[in-house]
Amino acid sequence: DQDPPMPSGTILSCDLPESSDFGWYSCEINAEFGLNGEYLVCIYSTNGTGTDNLYEINTESGETSTGFSCPVVDADECTSLGTGNPFIKIKQAEYSKKLRGAIDFSAWSTGIEYIEDLGAVGSTLAELNVIANPVSTVCPGAECIVELKFIANNSGEFTLSDVVIQSSIAGVGKTSRVFYDLESASELIASVGGVPIPANATIEIPLSIFNLTAPKPALSSTNQGYIEVTFNGKEANASFSVGGVALSPSTAAGMAAETRTALNALSSATGDTRLALKILGKDGDITAALSELGNISTDSDTQAARDRIKALRDNLPKEVMFGSSIRDFQLIEPGDITPDIAPESEKESVYFMQEKAQVKVSASSFTIKNFAGATARYALIKKEITAKSPMAKVDIYEVIDKSVADASSDIMFEQAPDSVVKADPIVKWFQPELSTGAKIEKNYVVRSEFDVGIDKVKTIIVPSSEEGIPACEGEDCGAEEASCGDKICTSILEDSVTCPEDCTSKTPWGTIIAIIIVALLLFVYVGFYRGKYSLWHMLKRKKPFAAPAELESVKDFIRSSREKKMDDSVIKTKLLEKGWKDSQVKFAFGEMDWEKKVKAAEKPAQDTSPVKEYIQTALSRGLSKEKILTNLTEKGWDREIVERELKLK
């Protein structure tokens, strides 16, 4: 007898064929979930009588006493047989993954909380919370996959050991120690755009969002198409047709359609394309052509209509194609300040004035193709000038190298310059005021078969000669402005001979008074002062060197040692070791320090902000300090200043 009683209930089943003949018969049971337990298979007959052994079953092929003869009626147990044949064949299940060792539970797809909580991390649990009657809640059908959800109330790691899952369904007990990593994805759309979808909702989805490409039909024909959508057991379908009619570009209607399409695309262009067309004056031509195109009748294909469209569009742009582009911040060098921009006496001050503004420059090449098929290559130059400090009454010069344009007439400006300084070309605009942070743009187009280098177009800011009136040019410059007797000595046109009223030199009282004060101080110093560093004291004091050559020898040693980055204390020690006295060493150091101070006093203070900005920009672009030092010294900057800013000293 068996204990417990014979299992009952059905999870999976198959129908064995009914036959009165003895023989081998079979049916298959396919399970999509794991089966485990002592009593897995039950034979049940709905039409048998008595205690006939309708079927024998055997659960283990290697044993001879595991067969059972199951009664049909009047009993609830199967009788064990002494021998039997293995009639049940079991195929191993196929799984994509198997839980072996450590696993990241955060990567699991969490389902219904069959296991609700593992409690505190690190605790040992004897029993897990489970949902009662999981068949009705988790497994609504005959097949079932139970999902386990592990939850931690705080951060940490799960360690699972000796995990057993037990369940009882319809009186049948199940036990399993085997778990599998489950990957599942819901086929249901729960929300659209964050808005929950209620049950039985209808959603309309336009086909345009799928970016479908229909087969290209033959001209003047129609292709039929069919589309079918299947989702979550639901199905929808629709048919569609795609037709195409081509207009020959040689007909009036075809020419008009081609022209309108191209011009509409250009008229709605943005960015550099729009700016280039505007500077070239093509935007107005395009608008006028589109308007005129509407007045041409293309209902009948006449030669007159075709000729009219051809004359209208031949010289208009059909395509604008941009190529390479270069963008950078402008760097002005002293050599860029030519006599055409500022006289030699003002060159240095004009050079340092460039630090009051930042100029961003870009040069973009582009090609225009017209309807006649001809192409022309251009370059779009854009300048964005940003004031770093306030400026008033300045002239903005644009110096364009002859490799870019032969003359100013070859350049199309967005804003016409106030004057042409030189046709070579140099132009300028007057700017009455620029506040800190203010930006202005100077854009223009040049005809160029080659890419334009941004170092070939320079923007230079110069103090204006007049309040908005450009400096006069030509041989008769200023002839009407020089007026004798206006108390202004007009340079070149007036002097002490031609206009003594305005140009006769006056007594320089300020200079005379300054000379008298200096003379008095010198007299007091020489005649009365007898303290340290007085003339009398210095004449009386003996120098520690017997001859000037000895002093120069020590100074040369100090100078060469300093160039080798040797510390002064080390230099002093070496001089003492060579036999020089301490007083001689101190005197030589003092002489050199005094010469350095005198040299610094004689040299006017120089604004080093251009050096600092160049160094910062060059370092950000990966230039070495040695290369930066070479570049700046070649540009005329003092080596000592550059080394100091580079922290090389």
* Tokens read off for 562: 């300093």
Q: What is the pLDDT of residues 175-192, one digit of tens each?
A: 776 666 655 544 566 677
The region, left, alpha or beta by phi > 0 then psi within -120 to 50, assigned to residue 423 is: alpha
CB 277 within 8 A of CB 286: yes
The pLDDT value given to residue 204: 76
Domain termination residue (choose one: 72, 94, 116):
94
Look at residue 436 and tell me if it is in a domain. Answer: yes
Residue 85 covered by a domain: yes
Question: Quick one: pLDDT band at residue 358, thresholds 50, 70, 90?
Answer: very high
Confidence tier at 146 by pLDDT (50, 70, 90): low
List beta partners, residue 359. Answer: 385
CB 457 within 8 A of CB 381: yes
Question: What string of DSSP letters covers 71-91?
Answer: -SSS-SSPEE-S--------P
Domain span at residue 236 reads 224-313
CA distance 528 to 539: 15
User: Do 278 and 352 lie in a common domain?
Assistant: no
Please determine, for residue 342, whether its predicted confidence score (pLDDT) is greater than 50: yes
pLDDT at position 413, please?
A: 93
pLDDT category, 277, cuts 50, 70, 90?
Answer: very high
Token representation of residue 239: 């048919």
For the segment 195-217, the average pLDDT, to the nearest whole number, is 72
Banded model confidence at residue 50, pLDDT cuts 50, 70, 90: very low
Burial of 210 (0-12, 13-18, 19+ CB in 10 A): exposed
Residue-wise pLDDT tens digits, 609-621: 888 888 887 787 7
Residues 309 and 322 in one domain: no
CA-CA distance, 82 to 457, in Å (whole number)?
108
Residue 266 has pLDDT above 60, yes or no: yes
pLDDT of 260 higher than 80: yes
Residue 33 near residue 144, CB atoms below 8 Å = yes
Higher pLDDT, residue 91 or 15: 15
Instruction: Please determine, for residue 442, whether its predicted confidence score (pLDDT) is greater than 90.
Output: yes
Find where tokens 């093509």 sit: 282
Phi/psi-derived region of residue 265, left when phi > 0, alpha when psi is between -120 and 50, beta in every other case: alpha
Q: How many domains does the chain have?
A: 6
Q: How confident is the model at residue 566 (pLDDT cuts 50, 70, 90)?
A: confident
CA distance 296 to 305: 7
Question: Could you give the CA distance from residue 159 to residue 155 in angstroms, rounded to a whole number?
Answer: 13
**Are residues 466 and 554 located together in one domain of the fold?**
no
**Are residues 365 and 400 located together in one domain of the fold?**
yes
Cα–Cα distance measured from residue 78 to residue 43, given in angstroms and rounded to the nearest whole number: 10
Contacts of 468 by beta carbon, 8 Å cutoff, 6+ apart: 393, 430, 432
* More confidently predicted of 100 and 451: 451
Which of residues 317 and 135 earns the better pLDDT score? 317
Q: 511 in a domain, yes or no?
A: no
Q: What is the mean pLDDT of residues 368-392?
A: 91
What was the pLDDT predicted at 239?
76
Assess whether 459 and 331 both reside in one domain. Answer: yes
Identify whether 477 is part of a domain. Answer: no
Q: Is 497 inside any structural domain?
A: no
Q: Report the distance separating Cα 173 and Cα 409, nearest Å.
A: 99
Is the pLDDT score of 471 beyond 70? no
User: Per residue in 478-529, pLDDT tens?
Assistant: 333 445 666 566 544 445 544 666 666 555 666 777 788 877 777 666 555 5
Which residue is it, tokens 């770093």?
A: 388
Question: What gap in Å lies between CA 330 and CA 441, rounded to an integer?
Answer: 14
Assess whether 384 and 431 both reside in one domain. yes
Paired sense of beta strands 439-447 and 457-463, if any: unpaired
Supply the pLDDT for residue 192: 72
**pLDDT reading at 334 higher than 80:** yes
Domain boundary among 281, 313, 345: 313
Q: How many CB atoms lie within 10 A of CB 521?
A: 10
Which is more confidently placed, 85 or 372? 372
The pLDDT value given to residue 441: 94
pLDDT of residue 178: 65
Q: Are residues 266 and 336 in the same domain?
A: no
Q: Are residues 46 and 155 part of one domain? A: no
List, in sequence order, every residue forming a beta bridge with 443; answer none if it has no partner.
Answer: 382
Please check whether residues 332 and 460 belong to one and the same domain. yes
Q: How far is CA 480 from the centre of its chain?
A: 59
Both tokens assigned to 126? 């004897």
Query: Residue 174: inside a domain, yes or no?
Result: no
109 pLDDT more than 50: no
Residue 537 has pLDDT above 70, yes or no: no
Residue-wise pLDDT for 207-219, tens only, equals: 667 767 766 666 5
Domain end (from 313, 345, 372): 313
- Regarding whether 272 and 144 lie in a shared domain, the answer is no
Greater model confidence, 35 or 270: 270
- Section 613-641 average pLDDT: 81
In a domain, 175, yes or no: no
Asked whether residue 275 carries a pLDDT value surpassing 90, the answer given is: yes
Pair (363, 448) in one structural domain: yes
Q: Is residue 124 a part of any domain in this protein? A: yes
Reading phi first (left if > 0) and then psi (alpha if -120 to 50, else beta), residue 402 is in alpha
Reported confidence tier of residue 300, pLDDT bands at 50, 70, 90: confident
Phi, psi for residue 240 in degrees, rounded to 5: -150, 165
Confidence of residue 153 (pLDDT cuts 50, 70, 90): very low
Counting residues of the chain whose pLDDT is more than 90, the rounded percentage is 13
pLDDT of residue 62: 54
Answer whether residue 234 shows pLDDT above 60. Answer: yes
Task: Determine the pLDDT at residue 368.
Answer: 92
User: Taking the chain, what is the end-to-end CA distance rounded to the nearest angstrom?
Assistant: 104
- C-alpha 649/C-alpha 640 separation (Å) is 8
As a whole number, mean pLDDT of residues 75-104 equals 57
Q: Are 239 and 121 part of one and the same domain?
A: no
